[in-house]
Every structure is written in structure tokens, then in C-alpha cells.
With several copies, the nearest count.
Chain A
């Protein structure tokens, strides 16, 4: 699936998007965040405090316990500060 990063998550990971193939036991948004963090380096830095990371699945806001199944695109970002 495609993973997008925005704002300081993008800066810490070092790329705006990447293609990932997580193992089947990665079922939820929180699972994926943990799996990405375990890669170390920029990913570990980006996900060091999962409580401040928000996610969208196929362009809709979701909670950490949302299931990934069938999603084509997931985005991770900090709380929004537009307006």
C-alpha cells in the first residue's frame, strides 16, 4: 500500500510517500505505525510518540484501531493547523 507523510512526519521520515508491504499480522492503523517505527532511523523518530500522530485511510480520518484491509492509501500527519 501507499503511505503518505505530511508536515514534520514527512520531514522526519525523509520522504513524502513510499510503497510498503507489511506482513499480514499488521491489521490496524496502529499496527502499521508500530511496524514503521520498528524500521528505526527517520521512521522511529517520526513515530516516537504515536499519541500525536493522526491518520487518514483512503482520504478519510480514522482512529488508530481502524482496520487496514483493502485500503490503497494511508496518510500519517500531526494534528491539523489550517484555517
Chain B
């Protein structure tokens, strides 16, 4: 299993690792990521954590045995960095984490993690939701679904119009 690739965006007045994106095969621990963001700090009033998990049924209610996530190494991290920088221009964030897994997942497995920290809850909530919406439509990941009891190697998930609509609501002007 390759080591997770790490990318850091610094700001002079923030801890060195306040903003971080990672793409990895391993399971992440939401609590470790969140603790890392707020430990020893007294300027954070709100932390929002979003975890996206693999469900046992797809968006149409069809049973699902597993998901395989393919990604574009290099671009995935760069695009997630760009999303994070965009979020920082929009909201006063004290820190953030974006972690996205690739590989095969079974129902119950965590897939994606977004953590945002801010002095105020409104900024933390809005930035987390913005990051998730844009991750879905902009981060180069693709899901393939395996059905229970089928021998075929799976079906590529089609992009949802509702995801585009969710991302579009953040468009400026």
C-alpha cells in the first residue's frame, strides 16, 4: 500500500499543518484528523466534520456489494488543494482537512472526510458543505459498483444532476 501523498497550504499565522489534503488507500480516523486541527488552539469555536461512507444500496436503492474508487494520482491532490484554497478565500477558516480514499470499499467503509475549523459555526458549516459539493463534481475520482451475486466486474456510477446543482449553487455572480 503506497504512503499517502501529503500537500500543505501554509499561512504565516497558522500552525504549519492547519490545512492539509490527502489521497490514500488506507482507512482514515476522523477523530485523529479533527484533534490535529484543534489541539492546543484557543481560537477555534466551531469544528464541522463530514464523513462519507459506502452504503449497502446505491442512489436508486439497488443493493451494492462493493465500490471501487479509481482516481487520477497527482491531479486529485492538486484539485483538492485548489478547492481548499477557494474555500479559504470565501470563509475565515482556522484549519481544514480533506482526505479521500481510493481502492475497493464495502458497505460501512468510510470514503471521504472533510473537516473545517473556524472561530464561528456559520463559516465552518458553509465551508464543509461547499468542499463536499465541489469534491463530488471536481475531484478526479470515479466509482464502480459491484452488485451482490454478479460475476461481472462492475458498473461505472453515472454522475448525478443533483450533484452538479449542489456545486452550482456556490457559483459566484
Contacts and interface: CB of A to CB of B under 8 A. Distances in A.
Contact between A and B in the complex (any CB pair below 8 Å): yes
Interface of A: 4, 6-8, 10, 56, 59-61, 75, 77-83
A59 B151 CA distance: 34
Contact of A82 (B69, B74, B78, B158): B69
A59 B141 contact: no
Interface residues of B, number: 28
Interface of B: 52, 69-72, 74-75, 78-79, 100, 111-112, 132, 135-144, 156-159, 163
Contacts, number: 72
Contacts of A8: 156
Pairs of residues from A and B, 6 with the lowest C-beta to C-beta distance, nearest first: A82-B141, A79-B159, A83-B136, A7-B142, A59-B75, A81-B157
Nearest to B102: A82
Contacts of B137: 79-80
A82 B71 contact: yes
